[in-house]
Amino acid sequence: MEIWCIDDLANTGADSGRKVTAMKYIQNYTTPSSKPDAVIAFGTAAYPSELLSNNGCATIGGTVFLHDSSNGAPGGWTWRKHMDMLIPSSVPASFFSKVAADQTTMAAITSEMIAPQKKDPASALKLIIAADAVAVTSVNEAPPYCVPDTDSIKQAQKKGATNITSVETTHGVIRSVWHDKPFIYVTAITNRLCHFGDEAHNNYAQEFPSSHNAGVALKHVIPYFVSAIT
């Protein structure tokens, strides 16, 4: 397994195009015979609700939906012929259902999670995993995030997304670079929709536990993932 951090490769400034450019370092590092067998996008994000808090929980899914939050402003990045549509993963649905049905694994994940220390932790820390889970990616996004994120969610719902579990800026961008590989996203939920500024931004005591919990979930899920893609 190789673990790469986009921000270690370039100062992206949260710019979608710069993220893609940074990931070229990863593509160029590997040889043709060592292309990845699968790709996992890992990062922090909001949960798509202003009322329900899942802060500190982790979500795992395979489908992404990319929406240009700049409304086509000049210079913005785009994944041609893939914007504003649900893009499923080739990972079989059985992967998600097997994890969700394994009570021992789910209990082990929960037992190792730690609550965010600052803002509205979830009433019950847990892994949210489903075959129909969708990560909404707002590309070319600039703060404040509330309006563009809300709009991106509405666009995804219009196209049939019924179980959105992640609203962020990067999962779908990573998916675009390795578009022909089995893919899942793992999201550390740090805040509610429209509450990035007051719940997560520059808040280590909020972001660290959430990221830790998603890492715990990924650790336990990796054997299922390897089995699913082989």
For 16-53, write each residue's pLDDT tens digit: 999 999 999 998 887 666 689 999 999 999 999 999 99
| Rounded CA separation 167/154 (Å) | 12
CATH level 2 (architecture), domain 38-229: 3-Layer(aba) Sandwich (3.40)
Contact of 214 with 57, CB cutoff 8 Å: no
pTM for the whole thing? Answer: 0.95
Amino acid found at 181: K
- Cα–Cα distance for residue pair 215/194, rounded to 1 Å: 24
**Percentage of the residues of the chain whose pLDDT score is greater than 90:** 89
